[in-house]
Structure 1
């Protein structure tokens, strides 16, 4: 199945974790919601992309383990050291959801462009495959955001795919540098107006319209960020619906 129109789910949300870290994960409400957006139900086909962290085997294995006790059909696309699918385009266009995990958004976008994946993902988006992701997998669809791709001190990233003509702030309440850096970058014109998400929150885009903010629990919010003529930035909390999945 496919979404009713081109859909992106850009988030600071992800798996539910147990006490053993990445080896004790299960799909979070945000993943179930992605399947719902794709009109795909409990047997939705998910393809996971881990290029933001270099396609490490432990993360790939943990993803399959997380989905093993569900009816969802999981696959992955890796590009390091080489693609694991002979026909990347056919595989991605056959998915219901393509989910991009976090890491370095700068490296992510660069490697995608080297392999022409940006063009394939755009085609998938237009065809109704739901594109989703967390952190780097959220910023990538936008013009840019703040990033630690270049080191522990946050810097501007302005080379996103840009299909969504906004800035995107992730981990807004989870890392103390995030909120002031987004205000700075929007205020000085480095980034356009945009949206931000607390850890656990996400944004639904239909086409290029942001239509809903959601969260995987009570508390996290999404925000609209707008620059005024004097360079100040207005931050407006958005109504954020809490997802309810068993």
Structure 2
């Protein structure tokens, strides 16, 4: 039973640090699994892509351990030095949820396109596989956003997959340059309407409509930034607080 409509959960969250070390899947990732409507008689099939971080094997181990604790059947899909599964399209299309990690969104997009994943993800989204991710794994689904892919100074990226026809601003409250750069890019027309998330906040889309914002921690926000005249208007979207 796939998601009822094409669904994306784009976040500046998804992970939580464990007191004893390692990570666990956090509320926004669990929400993605819930939206996938997985039958109760089997474990959710979650495919994780760490392309943006260079497919680090140590992190893949953390992802597998977190998935085991959460009761997920987790597959880490590496693309370096070659795909780690025999049929990349079949792996993606056979998933309930695809979750994408952070890192370089510019490198991620280039590598995905070499392997034809841009088309595969469009097919999966339309088929009801829930797509999601954090940071670079959020921006990739949009037309573009702000990124440190090119160096320490934030710059725009404008060649996202475009499943969602908006810009995307991640880490809106934790990196000082993110908000003003989004405003500049929207005001200049480099980005269109842009949807932004504080750390720990997720944006939930059904089709291309933003249906709600959710938060893993209280006091956080989501924002819609639109061009108006020579400037911009930023509207706060109050998130629904997820249960721990």
TM-score bracket, shorter-length normalisation = over 0.9
What displacement does 1:25 show? 0.9
What's the counterpart of residue 59 of structure 1?
Answer: 59
**Alignment pair present for 1:219 and 2:222:** no
What displacement does 1:131 show? 0.1
Could you report, residue by residue, the CA deviation over 1:139-186 in whole angstroms, capped at 9, with x for unpaired residues?
A: 001110010000010001101011111010000001001001100111
SS at 2:172's partner residue? coil
Residues 1-246 of structure 1 mapped to structure 2, 5 A cutoff: 1-19=1-19, 24-40=22-38, 43-230=43-230, 232-245=231-244
What displacement does 1:19 show? 4.3
Unaligned runs of 5+ in 2: none
What displacement does 1:41 show? 6.1
Q: Distance in 2 between matches of 1:142 and 1:93?
A: 20
Q: Distance in 2 between matches of 1:13 and 1:87?
A: 29
Could you report, residue by residue, the CA deviation over 1:17-37 in whole angstroms, capped at 9, with x for unpaired residues?
A: 0246xx511111111111111
Q: Distance in 1 between matches of 2:233 and 2:180?
A: 12
TM-score w.r.t. the length of structure 2 is 0.96
4+ long deviations beyond 2 Å: none
User: Is the CA contact (8 Å cut-off) linking 1:53 and 1:103 kept in structure 2?
Assistant: yes
Q: Distance in 2 between matches of 1:95 and 1:145?
A: 27
Could you report, residue by residue, the CA deviation over 1:44-82 in whole angstroms, capped at 9, with x for unpaired residues?
A: 110000000110101111101112223211111110000
SS at 2:69's partner residue? coil
| Count of residue pairs brought into register by the alignment | 242
CA RMSD of aligned residues (A): 1.2
User: Is the CA contact (8 Å cut-off) linking 1:35 and 1:41 kept in structure 2?
Assistant: no
